[in-house]
């Protein structure tokens, strides 16, 4: 059986934001065994699973992504939407547009220190839409 739901996240500022609980609130009942796929319908934000305990990890992510893909690079051609837009598109390609999590015993089978993160690469990205698909 497959179920699917689209949700709208609140607007987050630029950065890496733990959204595991926001996703779980939308999943009222999970199968005993299955998979959850989470897909973001945007090209300037991404999803990742990573360390959810130490907030310094999120700060370091922002630092590293900004060093890899800086704003205001004179080589960018697509600049009409502001200096954060083209870097956001590249950063979202380096991260990913979807994640898949196993479901075991009716719960997401994440590691002890793992969480789902929204990677917001725009200064003001606005609301973000996610598609949650549960396979059982």
pLDDT digit string (tens) for the chain, length 136 residues: 999 999 999 999 999 999 999 999 999 899 999 999 999 999 999 999 999 999 999 999 999 999 999 999 999 999 999 999 999 999 999 999 999 999 999 999 999 999 999 999 999 999 999 999 999 9
Residue 65 lies in a domain: yes
Host domain of residue 122 = 30-135
pLDDT value at residue 16: 97
Please give the pLDDT value at position 25: 97
- The predicted structure's pLDDT at residue 109: 98
Question: Would 14 be classed as within a structural domain?
Answer: no
Q: What is the pTM of this model?
A: 0.95
Residues 6+ apart with CB under 8 A from 10: 127
Is 39 among the domain residues?
Answer: yes
The CATH number of the domain where 114 resides is what?
Answer: 2.60.120.460
Q: d(Cα 101, Cα 127) in Å, to the nearest integer?
A: 23
- The verdict on residue 106 lying in a domain is yes
> To which H or E segment does residue 62 belong?
helix 56-68
pLDDT value, residue 120: 98
Q: How far apart are CA 31 and CA 108, in angstroms?
A: 10
Q: Report the pLDDT value the prediction gives residue 69, as an integer from 0 to 100.
A: 97
User: How many domains is the chain partitioned into structurally?
Assistant: 1
Q: What is the pLDDT of residue 28?
A: 87
pLDDT at position 84, please? Answer: 96
């Amino acid at each position: 059986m497959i179920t699917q739901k689209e949700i709208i996240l609140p607007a987050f500022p630029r950065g890496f934001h733990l959204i595991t609980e926001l996703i779980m609130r939308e999943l009222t009942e999970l199968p005993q065994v299955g998979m959850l796929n989470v897909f973001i319908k945007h090209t300037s934000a991404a999803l990742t699973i990573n360390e959810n305990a130490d907030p310094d990890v999120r700060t370091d992510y922002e630092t590293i992504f900004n060093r890899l893909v800086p704003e205001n690079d004179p080589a960018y051609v697509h600049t009409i939407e502001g200096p954060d837009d083209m870097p956001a598109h590249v950063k979202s390609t380096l991260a990913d547009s979807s994640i898949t999590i196993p479901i075991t015993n009716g719960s997401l089978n994440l590691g002890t220190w793992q969480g789902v993160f929204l990677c917001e690469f725009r200064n003001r990205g606005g609301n973000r839409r996610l598609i949650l698909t549960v396979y059982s």
